[in-house]
A = this chain, B = another copy of it.
C-alpha cells in the first residue's frame, strides 16, 4: 500500500492517520489519561484521543487548572499524563503546572496545538510563538511536522510519541513539550487510523539502569559509616512506596536517627518507625539544642525538607560530611557535599546489606537516644498543648484530620501553612496514609486541582488541607469536582489572608514600625471572602465548623459520604502565630530538659 494508497487519501484521512498513529503510539507507550481544554485548533488531537480506547479523556475549561489536575493524576499513578490545548494563551496557562512538574519530577506530555507556519507573524488570531514556550521547564521540546500520512511520516510520528514518553519517564521524570501545528480542515475522517507501522507496542519503563548503586562505592561507604558515632539520616519528600522500609532497615543497621519529612512517607506507616525523629522542626529552632545535637555525618534522601529549622541546621553543619543519594542529579544539595546517583531505596538496601548485621552492632548509642528522647519529649509537650486547645486552631485541625483519616487514604497538604503544620503535628505513630503536596516549586497555585486529580484516579478518600489564598487561587479547579466522581474532603483553613507572613520579619518589621496598615495591605491581604457561595456555585456540600468538636464532626461526616465536600474553619492570623510560638516554646522547654538533665529522662 504505502505511497500508492497515500495518494488517494483526503486531507481529513491523512489527518486521521497521522494523528491517530501518534495517539496510538502514546497509548502503547503508557499514556492512559489525557486532560483536554476545549479549542478549535486542537480538534485533531482531541478527537483522536477520544477515539483511542486505551486513553481516558478528562475535560476542563481552565487550562491552568487542567494542567494541575493532570499533574495530580501523574503524581498519583506515577505515569505520564497528556495535556492538550489549543494555540495562544491557552498553552501559556499550562505553564505554572509544567514548572511544578519539572521541579517535582512528574512526567507530563504537553501537546499544544499551533497554527501552521504560514499563519505566524502575520497577526493571525490566537497565534503566538510557541517554540520552546516553557523554556528550561521541560525536559525536551519537539516541533512536530504538519500531518502527513506517508509511511515515513507515520513511522516518524510514532517514534516521536514513544521518545516523548520515554523522556518524560526517564529518571528524574518531568514534562516534555510537543508543539503540534495543524492546517484546516481540522476534523479527522471517521474511523481508526488506516495503519500503524513501527515498533510493536511496549509498556513504559520507568526504571533506570543507572539507578543501581555502584557496588564498590557502597562497600567503601559501609566501612566508613561503621566508624561514625554521630550519624544522621535525613529523608526529604519522596514518593517511592518501597523507600520507607529500605531506609528504616538502613537506619537500624547504622543506629542512626531518622529525621523524616512529613512528605517522605517515612515518618509513619507500617515500616519500623522506632528510629524516626518526628519533633525536629520544633526543637531545632532552639540554637543551643541544634548545637548540642551537631552531627558528624548526614545521609540525605529525597527533596529539600519542608522544615526551615532543619535546613538551617544542615546549613550550619555544612562543614560536616553530607551525602545525598537519589536519581535526580538536581535534587537539593543545599549544603550536601556529595551526590550519589542511584535509586534511593536500592541504595539503602545495598548499603544495609554491606553493613554488619544490627545484632552485631553496638547498642543504640547515646547519640541516637538523645535525639529520640528529645523528640519524644518535645512532641509530647507540643501535642499536649494542641490537645488543650478547645478552640479551633490550625494545628488542631491537622491533628484532628490525622485522627480521622482511614487507612490507605491520602492527605494532600497545601503549601504555605498546612504543610508546615503537618510537619509540626505528624508523629511516628501517625496514620498509615499517603502524604502529598506540590513541593517542586511549592506554589500556592494549582493545589486544589492537583489534589482533585489525585483523587480522581486513586479510588481512595483524599483529604486536602488548604489555606484560603490557595483555595481562592485555584477555585476554578472545583468544576472538576462537580464533573467527575471522586471522594474528597477539602478542609479550608480560612484566616482571611496570607497567614504565613505573620511568621516572617515583614510582620515584626512593619508592626514595630507602627505600619500595621502597610503590613495588612502588602502581606496580610485580607479578602473578606465568605466561601459558602463558592461551594454553592459548584453544587458541593459545605460545612462551616464553629467549634473544634464541630470540626471533628464535620470531618467525620464528610469522610462518611462520597463526592467532594468542603469543610471550612475560620482562624485568626495573629492568634495562629501566637499559638505556634507557644507550641515551639513548649517543645523547646521540654527538649532542653533532655540535654540539660539527661538522667531525668532516661527511659
Q: Which residues of A contact B (CB under 8 A)?
A: 36, 38, 40, 43, 46-47, 50, 57, 59, 61-64, 88-90, 92-93, 95-96, 99-100, 102-103, 121-129, 131-133, 135-137, 185-187, 190, 236, 303-304, 330-334, 441-443, 445-446, 469, 472-473, 475-476, 479, 482, 498, 500-501, 504-506, 509-510, 513, 518, 521-523, 525, 527-531, 533-534, 536-538
- List the 8 shortest-distance A-B pairs measured between CB atoms, nearest first: A123-B332, A89-B443, A123-B304, A533-B533, A533-B537, A187-B509, A533-B536, A89-B96
Question: Which of B122, B442, B509, B534 sits near A537, CB closer than 8 Å?
Answer: B534
In the complex with contacts A333-B123, A521-B50, A472-B96 CB distance below 8 A: no
- Closest-by-CB residue of B relative to A62 is B473
In the complex with contacts A187-B506, A498-B38, A505-B187, A443-B533 CB distance below 8 A: no
Extra contacts besides A89-B96, A92-B96 (15): CB < 8 Å? A38-B523, A40-B501, A43-B522, A46-B522, A47-B518, A57-B521, A61-B472, A63-B445, A88-B99, A89-B100, A89-B445, A123-B330, A125-B304, A133-B135, A472-B476
Question: Which of B92, B476, B482, B525 sits near A473, CB closer than 8 Å?
Answer: B476
Question: Which of B126, B137, B446, B530 sits near A443, CB closer than 8 Å?
Answer: B126
- Closest-by-CB residue of B relative to A498 is B38
Pair B128/A88 contact, Cβ less than 8 Å = no
- List, sorted by A's number, 11 A–B pairs whose CB atoms are closer than 8 Å: A43-B506, A59-B525, A61-B472, A88-B443, A102-B128, A123-B332, A124-B332, A125-B441, A126-B443, A475-B476, A536-B536
- Closest-by-CB residue of B relative to A529 is B537
Residues from chain B with a CB closer than 8 A to the CB of A333 are 121-123
Pair B36/A522 contact, Cβ less than 8 Å = yes
Pair B537/A123 contact, Cβ less than 8 Å = no
Q: How far is the CA of A62 from the CA of B137 in the complex (A)?
A: 21
Q: How far is the CA of A43 from the CA of B510 in the complex (A)?
A: 11
In the complex with contacts A330-B121, A531-B537, A99-B103 CB distance below 8 A: no
A414 to chain B: closest CB distance in Å? 14
Q: How far is the CA of A88 from the CA of B98 in the complex (A)?
A: 12
Pair A129/B137 contact, Cβ less than 8 Å = yes
Q: How far is the CA of A327 from the CA of B12 in the complex (A)?
A: 40
Q: How far is the CA of A127 from the CA of B137 in the complex (A)?
A: 12
Pair B122/A99 contact, Cβ less than 8 Å = no
Q: How far is the CA of A512 from the CA of B89 in the complex (A)?
A: 31
Residues from chain B with a CB closer than 8 A to the CB of A332 are 122-124
Q: How far is the CA of A89 from the CA of B475 in the complex (A)?
A: 17
A537 to chain B: closest CB distance in Å? 4
Q: How far is the CA of A114 from the CA of B281 in the complex (A)?
A: 26
Pair B518/A61 contact, Cβ less than 8 Å = no
Residues from chain B with a CB closer than 8 A to the CB of A88 are 99, 441-443
Question: Which of B59, B129, B334, B443 sits near A521, CB closer than 8 Å?
Answer: B59
Residues from chain B with a CB closer than 8 A to the CB of A132 are 135
- Closest-by-CB residue of B relative to A530 is B537
In the complex with contacts A89-B445, A92-B99, A93-B96, A135-B129 CB distance below 8 A: yes
A75 to chain B: closest CB distance in Å? 16
Q: How far is the CA of A501 from the CA of B43 in the complex (A)?
A: 11
Residues from chain B with a CB closer than 8 A to the CB of A331 are 123
- Closest-by-CB residue of B relative to A127 is B441
Residues from chain B with a CB closer than 8 A to the CB of A135 are 129, 132-133, 135
A257 to chain B: closest CB distance in Å? 22
A199 to chain B: closest CB distance in Å? 30
Q: How far is the CA of A131 from the CA of B59 in the complex (A)?
A: 33
Q: How far is the CA of A126 from the CA of B496 in the complex (A)?
A: 22
Residues from chain B with a CB closer than 8 A to the CB of A334 are 122-124
In the complex with contacts A61-B469, A126-B442, A135-B132, A40-B504 CB distance below 8 A: yes
Q: How far is the CA of A103 from the CA of B136 in the complex (A)?
A: 23
Q: How far is the CA of A133 from the CA of B132 in the complex (A)?
A: 11
Residues from chain B with a CB closer than 8 A to the CB of A59 are 521-522, 525
Residues from chain B with a CB closer than 8 A to the CB of A522 are 36, 38, 43, 46-47, 50, 57, 59
Residues from chain B with a CB closer than 8 A to the CB of A133 are 135
- Closest-by-CB residue of B relative to A103 is B128
Q: How far is the CA of A242 from the CA of B54 in the complex (A)?
A: 59
Residues from chain B with a CB closer than 8 A to the CB of A190 are 513
Residues from chain B with a CB closer than 8 A to the CB of A38 are 469, 498, 501, 522-523, 525
A20 to chain B: closest CB distance in Å? 15
Residues from chain B with a CB closer than 8 A to the CB of A96 are 89, 92-93
Pair A441/B330 contact, Cβ less than 8 Å = no
A47 to chain B: closest CB distance in Å? 7
Q: How far is the CA of A103 from the CA of B405 in the complex (A)?
A: 50
A191 to chain B: closest CB distance in Å? 10
Residues from chain B with a CB closer than 8 A to the CB of A123 are 236, 303-304, 330-334
Q: How far is the CA of A537 from the CA of B304 in the complex (A)?
A: 37
Residues from chain B with a CB closer than 8 A to the CB of A93 are 64, 96, 445
Pair B473/A475 contact, Cβ less than 8 Å = no
